[in-house]
Amino acid sequence: MILSLKDIIVEDRLRRDLGDIEELARCIANDGLIQPPVVEQREDGKFYLVAGGRRYAALTLLASNKDDPEAAFFEQVDFTILNDLSPSQRKKLEL
């Protein structure tokens, strides 16, 4: 499902050090997003980030570069929706 980055709620994450986000952003810009972040739509109807915090941060960095004409491309992302996954697919994500 294609969602805007600004519509994703990022709660407190276990991983504090996201590593080299700029390098990951360069890889996504050059090669594309191979595995999209995973979000879950909860009872309140909002989407919460479940997996892919580094990818989400890198996409946010790419979308924030207003000097880049392609920045708008990164504001809308085809997220994987946890609610749509089968139990076996969830297990592969270890969720």
Q: Give the chain's end-to-end CA distance (angstroms, integer).
A: 19
∠ CA 66-68-73 to the nearest 5 degrees? 90
Hunting for tokens 């004409």 — which residue is that?
A: 69
| Global confidence as pTM | 0.81
Buried b (16+ CB within 10 A) or exposed e, 9-34: eeeeeeeeeeeebeebbeebbeeebe
Query: Token pair 């999209």 is at which residue?
Result: 36
Mean pLDDT by 10 residues, the chain (95 residues): 89 81 93 90 92 91 84 79 72 63
